[in-house]
Amino acid sequence: MIIGKNIDLREIKISDAEFILALRLDSELNEHISVVEDDLDKQKEWIRRSKLNKQEWYFIVQNKKKEPVGTIRIYDIKGDSFCWGSWIVVPEARKYASFESAFLLYDYAFNDLDFKKTNFDVRKKNQVALNFYLRFGAVIKDETDLDYLMLYTKEQFLSKKERYLKVIDKISQNNIVKKCY
């Protein structure tokens, strides 16, 4: 379990399959992610395989009432680099869970797992996500017809970590998360 101020990240369980599938099938949430079949058994099997893969970490983002509000994942490990994604946060939790879930994932990947950088792609049409990553400090290193290929380093994260913690404190102080406790 990765403990945050307003949310926590916990390892996925087979019993999360229905929640994950509902997120991935939601047309308002799945516009920029890979398509999945509407098959609960296949989702459970995917989770089983994922949990056996020691080169992947898949988390449920949960509020302090332990209610799931999203997902986030580390995968595609290559040397000192990782990719992250499967990042979905329900609309009613975005104001308090989006920023902190990204922060907690970066902190865990860079400091606990000792990765040096993350490479990930963002759909060009997903301007909200692109702007978020750019504000966080990621840079566009290349592009395809469909995606921007992004890079974010441990040094970039550490250089702004204290500022990010202040943002998380401000989110909490602005009563955005009070209804989650």
**What is the tens place of the pLDDT at every residue in 132-170?**
899 889 999 999 999 999 999 999 999 999 999 999 998
pLDDT score at 32 = 55
Question: Which residue in this structure is represented by tokens 């989770």?
Answer: 47
Question: Which amino acid is located at 119 in the chain?
Answer: N
∠ CA(163), CA(81), CA(62), 5° rounding? 55
pLDDT score at 5 = 93
pLDDT score at 24 = 82
Over pLDDT 90: what percentage of the chain?
Answer: 63
Please, is 22 exposed, middle or buried when counting C-beta atoms within 10 Å of its C-beta (0-12, 13-18, 19+)? middle
pLDDT digits (tens, 9 = 90+) for 101-128: 999 999 999 999 999 999 999 999 889 8
pLDDT digits (tens, 9 = 90+) for 31-78: 656 666 788 999 899 888 888 877 889 999 999 999 999 999 999 999
Angstrom distance (rounded) from CA 121 to CA 143: 9
Structure tokens at 120: 């990930």
Domain ranges of the chain: 2-180
Confidence of residue 23 (pLDDT cuts 50, 70, 90): confident
What one-character DSSP code corresponds to residue 81?
A: E
Q: List phi, psi (to 5°) of 37.
A: -80, 150
Q: Measured between alpha carbons, how far is residue 78 from residues 48, 55, 82, 111, 133 in Å?
A: 22, 10, 6, 17, 21
CATH assignment of 2-180, among 3.90.45.10, 3.40.630.30, 3.30.230.70, 3.40.50.1970: 3.40.630.30
pLDDT score at 34 = 65
Q: Measured between alpha carbons, how far is residue 113 from residues 57, 70, 79 in Å?
A: 11, 22, 12
Angstrom distance (rounded) from CA 126 to CA 42: 27
Angstrom distance (rounded) from CA 161 to CA 83: 20
Confirm whether pTM is higher than 0.85: yes
Q: List phi, psi (to 5°) of 71.
A: -135, 155
Confidence of residue 180 (pLDDT cuts 50, 70, 90): very low
Question: Which residue in this structure is represented by tokens 């995917």?
Answer: 46
